[in-house]
Every structure is written in C-alpha cells, then in structure tokens.
Structure 1
Amino acid sequence: MKKLISIIGTTGIGKTKLAIEIAKHFETEIISCDSRQFFAEMKIGTATPSEEELAAVPHHFIGHLSVENYYSIGQFEKEALQKIEDLFQKHEVVIMVGGSMMYEKAVLEGLNDLPEADEKNQKELERIFAEEGIENLQKILHDLDPDYFETVDKDNPRRLFRAIDIIWQTGKTYTENIKSQVKKRDFQVIRIGIQAPREIIYHRINQRVDLMVQNGLVQEAESLIPFKKNVALQTVGYSELFKYFDQEWDLAFALEEIKKNSRRFAKRQLTWYRKEENINWVNFENSVEESLTFLDTVIW
C-alpha cells in the first residue's frame, strides 16, 4: 500500500526542514496543508518556504491562490486527495506537511458534510460582532462548545461565525459535527510530530517574528491593506498590523501582539495534538535522524 507521511507540530518548530529532508530521502514530493501558505501575497507573514527550499523538492499547494480567492477546506480536501493520487502514480511515498489541524484531518479522515452558512444566523452574528465585540462571540462559542473553544482561532471572527452557525443550525456542538466516521483511504498514513519543551517553542516563535519583520513583514502587510477584510487576512501577523496602520496601536505593541497570538496558536496546536493517538513523536533537536531511522524500519 502507498504511504502518506504527514509531518505535524507547532508553528515554528521546523516542519519544513524535516519534510524536505524526508522527501529527498524517498525521492518524492510535498503536499502543503498549511492553509495560510496557500496565498501568494502572504509569503513573509506565513513563513512560506524559501525559493531554495521550494527548489530542493517539488511542493504543491503553496502560493497557488490569491488573497482575493475564496477557498474552503472542502475544496482543499478534494484537490489534495486528487494530487496525492496523481503523485502515487510515480512515487511509493508522498509527504504532507503543515500545522493547520483541520486541513490535515480533512485529508486523512474526511470531513462531515456540514451545512452551508445560514444567512439569518450570519447577519445576527455580524450584528453581535459589530455591537458587542469579538469577546461576546467568544463567550457564545465557549458556552456552546467548550471543547472546540480550546482549539479554535479565537481571534478570527470568521472561525467563530462558522462554528456558532453550525451549532445553531444542527443543535449539536461543532465538536460533534466534525467527529465523523473516518473515511476509508486507499493509502497508509504515517504521522510524525516534532516535539520540544514549551519554552523552546515560544522562544522560536519570538525569534521568527523578529526575522519576519527584518524580511519586510510590515511592508508586506501594508501592501495588503486594500484586502484587509478578506477572509485570508483575518489571521495572525496581519490583523495586528492593520490596527497599527489604522493608528489604533503603535508598531511595537502590534509586533508584541503578533508574538503573543502566535504563542497562543501554538498552545492550541498542542492541545489538539495531545488528543491524537497515532502520532510518532521525534525530538526537535534530532528530528531528521530520528524520523528517517523510524521510517526506514516501518516502510521497507
């Protein structure tokens, strides 16, 4: 049976490097399931692989969309599975990498057929957001589904809208809605997770944000002001800088908020992965060696 190796871990932990080394070892290609790296205009703020990294191994689903495009998780599931099937025509092993938990889940297990957005619910949620702020949306979701609240991007109103809308429509928690019977895949999945002490993760995140700023993050975000209301840009690294451009925050505060919100996202990733049972963990300091040793024993 063909093998899909899925590389996971928190933001900034070294997934890209590990995926490239494993792909080179097996002479194969990489599928990205990092939903923020889909958008071509967001290279710096999403830590998209460098030109050298992209040239080292063929990558798919990186920079293939514009921030003006709408792209759903359902579309990704369909297109990623088709690409994986195509790649299996010439490779025994394919690599997938990314920290977007639901996007990985969509490929490995499939998603429930969730209802489309309800217009009446969306208008009510828009009203709550405009009049009462994101804190009230957060409270509503916390009360309705405390489990999902632990892992959702709490600062992204669109994520909150979607979850609350689904709960209102179905009468079931969002957690119940996305817990479906695993769909049968005709390939074997091997998941490798990179782990590190939390203080190391947070230190790496802080360093990475500083490097992004050196590489032109502020200028990149400024160029995207005309699209700041687009769903793709309701995300860490951009929403904070838009508040700086709107003169709500000064730059130093905005950058500290990016670091804080990135650390919060990493904490949500850790919470999600702790509930998973089929992850083969490797140490961040020796991730390549440990992964290849393990993979060579289970694949050949």
Structure 2
Amino acid sequence: MNNTLIVIVGPTAIGKTSLSIQLAKHLKCEIVSADSRQFYKEMSIGTAVPSSNELEQAKHHFIQHKSIEEYYSVGDFEKDALDTMNKLFTKNEFVILVGGSGLYVDAITKGLDSFPEISEDVRNALKKQYDTEGLESLQQQLKIADPVYFEKVDIQNTHRVMRALEVCISSGKPYSSFITKTPKKRPFHIIKIGITAERSIIYDRINERVDIMIKGGLLDEVKGLYPYKSLNALNTVGYKEIFHFIEDTWDLDFAISEIKKNTRRFAKRQLTWFKKDLEIQWFDYQYSIKSILLYITKKSL
C-alpha cells in the first residue's frame, strides 16, 4: 500500500490553501477540499473559496459543487470523497485533503459512527425551540447534555448544535459517546500536517481577511442571498451578521466587528479540535516548504 493521503489542517486564514497548492504542484497530485463552507456554489467571498488563479494551479474537488438548497451531510461527503480519492489514487500515489472543518476531516481519516434514529417529534420540537427562543437556548441545553462535545463543536453552527441535541434527546446519551473511538482502517497511508501561529498572529490574519472580504464585495454577496437566509448553509459566520445589518438591527461597523469576533472564536475551536489529534505534525505558518516535503518523504518511507 503506497497510496498516501496528505492532510493539511489548521485555523481559518492561516494559509492552508497556499500550502496545499504548493504541495500539489510539487507532487503533481490533486486536492480534495474538506471545508464544508466551500461546498456551496452561491457562496464565494464569505467562505474564502480559492481564487480562480489558485484553482488553475491545482485541480480541486468539492469546491462549490452543491447548491445551498441541497441537503449534503457529512456522511454524504465521506462517501463521495472516498470514492473520488479511490479514483485519484489510480493516477497518483498522493492525494491532498485540506480544510478547517474538523468533523469532515475526521470523517475521511477516521470514519463515522452509526447514530440513533431521530424521530420527527424531536426534530420538530427543537426547530420550534430555535424559532421561539433562538440559538442561545439550544447552546445552553447542549452544554448541559454533552459538555464534552460542546467544547469541540462550532456552537454558532445551528445545524451542528441541533443535530447533537437530536441525538442526545433520542438516545439519552451524550452525542460525543457516539463519535468514533477506534478509527476505521483506510486503504491508504495518512500523513497529517498542521499550520499554526501565535494566537495574536492568527487573529490579525483573520481581521485582515474580513476587511478584504468586505472590500471584495461580501455585502453584495450576502444581499443577494438574503431571500434564502433561513437555509442551513447560510447560518454561518460572515453571512448571518450581515443579515442583521440588512434588517437594520445592527449597523455595518458592528456587523463587521461581529464577523471578526465570531471568526476568531471559530479559529479557537478549530485549534482545540485539532490539537487533540496527536498524529498531526505542526509547522509554523512561516514554514519552509522544503522542511514539509522532507517530513512527508520520511513519513512515506
């Protein structure tokens, strides 16, 4: 078994896309995205989709391949991505998986567990609770029901919070108790590389990226998506804050500051998730590409 999956992870805005393209060009292989926010074709600026120039430098998969109106679960991604990688491995012994969505990375590298059936009554009750009491009510309920998962999940992601509560309520057990303890065997080697920096640097990079998004037309992108604001895909950082501005509940400066704050919180949770994976070899964001290639070579032997 010589096929090797190189996994590139790290907090948002740290430079994962740039590294993955450099490696793909050197290894002459293709890239599979595990960034769940970049799956949707209607969302570009707020999700920091790779530029057309970046996409031309290396072949990418699972970038803007779905509509926000389509249901696409992590289980769907696991199946589709594994099928794609099996085909890619017939052409090259390397494939690169890149993204900051820890759950989606784990789905490929560790596999997913079977979860209990969820009744429509439970699902509808939680939706009603969200509609009447808001996300904070669900967050507090999850914190009590499953404090372990609460510390790992992006609590601003309504879908993830509701999904965890559905499982907790239906099974009477914490959602985290269903998460894979023993990784599934995959028919390829896995090399995990993390990119990080001091927290102040990460936060500065996030703030700068948000400013670039605003200048690049994020406001117009979100305005165009306002009719679909109730869709799950749009309940995410960078979009829900601008919706408040559109509805005149926040001014623009405050909405932008909230995007920055919520993105910083998201980055902190990403690091918490990834730091628990002892298989990840961490490199500073000002890495030497030679040092990373050397590490890959040693791990591939």
- The TM-score with structure 2 as length reference comes to 0.97
Aligned pair count? 300
Matches within 5 A, 1:271-290: 271-290=272-291
Residue 122 of structure 2 is matched in structure 1 by: 121
- What one-letter code is carried by the residue in structure 1 that aligns with 2:122? N
- What one-letter code is carried by the residue in structure 2 that aligns with 1:54? L
Residue 141 of structure 1 is matched in structure 2 by: 142
CA shift for structure 1 position 283? 1.0
Which stretch of the first structure deviates more once superposed, 164-173 or 175-184?
175-184
Residue 198 of structure 1 is matched in structure 2 by: 199
Q: Is the 8 A contact 1:117 1:162 kept in 2?
A: no
CA shift for structure 1 position 116? 4.3
CA shift for structure 1 position 256? 0.6
**Root mean square deviation of aligned Cα:** 1.2
Residue 95 of structure 1 is matched in structure 2 by: 96
* 2:26 is equivalent to residue 25 of structure 1: yes
* 2:87 is equivalent to residue 86 of structure 1: yes
What SS class does the counterpart of residue 96 from structure 1 fall into? strand
Residue 73 of structure 1 is matched in structure 2 by: 74
Which stretch of the first structure deviates more once superposed, 168-177 or 216-225?
168-177
CA distance in 1 between partners of 2:33 and 2:86 (Å): 15
CA distance in 2 between partners of 1:63 and 1:116 (Å): 30
Which stretch of the first structure deviates more once superposed, 3-12 or 282-291?
282-291
Matches within 5 A, 1:1-300: 1=1, 2-299=3-300
CA distance in 1 between partners of 2:58 and 2:283 (Å): 22
- 1:56-86: CA deviation from partner (whole Å, max 9, x where unpaired): 0110000111111110110000000000000
CA distance in 2 between partners of 1:178 and 1:99 (Å): 18
- 1:204-247: CA deviation from partner (whole Å, max 9, x where unpaired): 00000000011100100111011111111110000111111111
CA distance in 2 between partners of 1:55 and 1:68 (Å): 27
- What one-letter code is carried by the residue in structure 2 that aligns with 1:136? S
Distance 1:266 1:203, change over 3 A: same
Which stretch of the first structure deviates more once superposed, 142-151 or 107-116?
107-116
What SS class does the counterpart of residue 40 from structure 1 fall into? coil
CA shift for structure 1 position 160? 1.4
CA distance in 1 between partners of 2:202 and 2:213 (Å): 16
CA shift for structure 1 position 298? 2.5
CA distance in 1 between partners of 2:240 and 2:289 (Å): 34
Q: Is the 8 A contact 2:110 2:180 kept in 1?
A: no
What SS class does the counterpart of residue 287 from structure 2 fall into? helix
Q: Is the 8 A contact 1:194 1:287 kept in 2?
A: no
Give structure 2 stretches of 5+ with no counterpart. none
Q: Is the 8 A contact 2:29 2:94 kept in 1?
A: yes
- What one-letter code is carried by the residue in structure 2 that aligns with 1:11? T
Give structure 1 stretches of 5+ with no counterpart. none
Distance 1:146 1:29, change over 3 A: same
- 1:273-294: CA deviation from partner (whole Å, max 9, x where unpaired): 1211100111111152321121
Q: Is the 8 A contact 1:32 1:61 kept in 2?
A: yes
- What one-letter code is carried by the residue in structure 2 that aligns with 1:28? C
Q: Is the 8 A contact 2:37 2:233 kept in 1?
A: yes
Q: Is the 8 A contact 1:283 1:290 kept in 2?
A: no
CA distance in 1 between partners of 2:186 and 2:133 (Å): 44
CA shift for structure 1 position 150? 1.1
Percent identity between the two aligned chains: 49
- 1:75-123: CA deviation from partner (whole Å, max 9, x where unpaired): 0000000000000001011101000000000011110112344211122
- What one-letter code is carried by the residue in structure 1 that aligns with 2:178? N
Q: Is the 8 A contact 2:4 2:93 kept in 1?
A: yes
Q: Is the 8 A contact 1:40 1:66 kept in 2?
A: yes
CA distance in 2 between partners of 1:230 and 1:266 (Å): 23
CA distance in 2 between partners of 1:295 and 1:95 (Å): 12
